[in-house]
Amino acid sequence: MRNPLTEPASSVATYQEVGQASLRRSRPRVPAAALGLNGLAVRLLWMQATLLVATVFLFKYTHLSLQWASAGPMLVVNGLLVVLWASFYCAPGTAREWPLAEAVAVLVLILSLSHILAPAQYAAAALKGRLIDPVLASADAMLGVHVPALVQWTRSHVWVNHALTFAYSTLLAQFALIIPALAIVLRDREGLWEYAFHFHFCALLTVTALALWPAACAFQYYGFESTIDQTRFIHHFNALRDGSMTVVRMNDLEGLISVPSFHVAGALMVAWACRRHIRLFVFVVILNAALVAATFMSGAHYAADTLITIPMFAASVVIYRKWAAPLHRNGLASL
């Protein structure tokens, strides 16, 4: 009997099946969809293009400028990855090698979106929308949560503090490592593309929320020191709002999104992508439960930020199943 926790759904084409179908039909070149340039990838690129255009407009509107020299290394890395993917397209090799090409394709998508999203945050914060901290603090009070008291407790328990801080700091590594883990080690292309979609959907919604409903975060509203260093956040966020920051440097960026929490969304999307692989899933759930707890136990977020993120991610799951999933499956089904 198939174990649904450890095996991908039977309706999803595997790399081996795609390779056998391609060989049977004797195609001269492997279609780009088998290497990661499928219908979903194309639409995610269009989402990125839309965000890029909006970001350029907002930079001009808010009188911000980007220091292009600081973006050089990132552009070089992205360019090299595109060249690597193109080499697979020109000489795809056997079906066993295709997961590496697909991993590179998803990595390019995640990195390129991140390089657009990071400065987009700064333009969103520079719009100087009305702060919603009083609303978030009231929501916490309704939940019976007082973030300064939680932070005081965390700081008084040294090992708990260290564990939560470590879990919180792992998010970027998880974002990167989950791609080769799913594509190359586990051969789970369904989980890979679901992760790519959730990353885009949640990133676009959170940066939009920052533009509409910015928050100075609990540590500024209540006037306490977070257990996680927030010096750069405080400097950048306040400087954008008072107009003293006009140049954005790609090598000196900070996450400015408070609600919905992209840390919580990231923890959810990584764990969800691993759900078919029980051992990895258990490990990731434990790690990311600590990461989610760290968002408000450290004072980096309000507790309400976490709760608001959950329905956003649930909507992402529904939209993926109804709309996005067929986009990457259909391209392979036609091979």
As given in the structure block, the two tokens for residue 228 are 């996680």
pLDDT at 6 over 70: no
Give the span between the Cα atoms of 97 and 178, in whole angstroms.
18
pLDDT in tens, 183-235: 999 999 999 999 999 999 999 999 999 999 999 999 999 999 999 999 999 99
Averaged confidence pLDDT in the chain: 88
pLDDT in tens, 135-150: 999 999 999 999 999 9
Query: How much of the chain exceeds pLDDT 90, in percent?
Result: 72
Instruction: Please state which of the ranges 19-33, 44-58, 183-197 shows the lowest mean pLDDT.
Output: 19-33
DSSP code of residue 91: S
**Strand ranges, E, within 191-325:** 247-249
Contact yes or no for 257/206 (Cβ under 8 A): yes
Provide the residue ranges of all domains of the chain, joining segments of one domain with +.
30-333
Q: How confident is the model at residue 8 (pLDDT cuts 50, 70, 90)?
A: very low
pLDDT in tens, 148-171: 999 999 999 999 999 999 999 999
Q: What is the pLDDT of residue 48?
A: 94
